[in-house]
Amino acid sequence: MKIIIVDDDKIVESSLKTILEASGEISVVATGNNGRQAVELYKAHMPDIALLDIQMPEMTGLSAAAEILEIYPSAKILFLTTFADNEYIIRALNMGAKGYILKQDFEGIAPALKAVNVGQSVFGRDIVTKLSTLAPNEKADYRKLGISEKEEEIIAQVAKGLNNKEIGQELFLSEGTVRNYISTILEKLHLRDRTQLAIFHHTR
């Protein structure tokens, strides 16, 4: 997999390149230090994934990603940052980023890249937990999406970070019934997994 790394901290950028290429599955084809370079490097190299910091000089990673996605809608952007800021998270999700993980989770970066490369969305557990504390921007009209009242209750519990067993205890359902409900909900909303479901609920 070919990636670019853009981070204004040159030590972080260099360390990431060394660590990721050591896996033998990831090739860092270019690195940069600001958002403007991110756009230029993406155009020049057309990587499988762009690994971007958020706060950078000249142009932020969020602005760079928005510009890249406007030109290349299928681009895969993974944000790697020290900032678990509500506004940043929501903007990243709404623009179509494939992931948002924190630099503190160094060991999770390579697996996250591999997951994004095969089409998954990756958001660190602490990011999903943070999302669960946010109120939805506007209440989703689930009826128009074919979601029943019971299914909406289950979505709300998933968005709180509960697992199937915990949801079953809350709603007096068996764990298997909850699993079946979630599978049906994901199919109706064209979502891949419960993480995407939680994100959908909090960004509607």
Q: Give me the half-sphere count of Cα atoms (radius 13 Å) on the Cβ side of residue 126.
A: 12
For residue range 145-185, list pLDDT tens digits in order: 889 989 999 998 988 888 899 999 999 999 999 999 999 99
**Whether residues 161 and 79 fall in one domain:** no
The number of folded domains in the chain is 2
**Whether residues 111 and 12 fall in one domain:** yes
CB–CB of 185/197 below 8 Å?
yes
| Full-model pTM | 0.67
**Whether residues 16 and 75 fall in one domain:** yes
DSSP state of 121: -
pLDDT band at 133 (very low <50, low <70, confident <90, very high): low
- Comparison of pLDDT for 151 and 82, the residue scoring more: 151
| Domain CATH for 175 | 1.10.10.10
53-55-15 Cα angle (round to 5): 40
**Whether residues 14 and 82 fall in one domain:** yes
Q: What pLDDT does residue 173 have?
A: 93
- Here the tokens at position 154 are 């289950």
Q: What pLDDT does residue 160 have?
A: 81
**Whether residues 147 and 72 fall in one domain:** no
Q: What pLDDT does residue 49 have?
A: 97
**Distance (Å, rounded) from C-alpha 155 to C-alpha 149?**
10
Q: Is the pLDDT of residue 135 over 60?
A: no
Q: Is the pLDDT of residue 131 over 80?
A: no
Last residue within a domain, chosen from 131, 159, 176: 131
**Whether residues 50 and 124 fall in one domain:** yes
For residue range 111-126, list pLDDT tens digits in order: 889 989 988 878 766 6
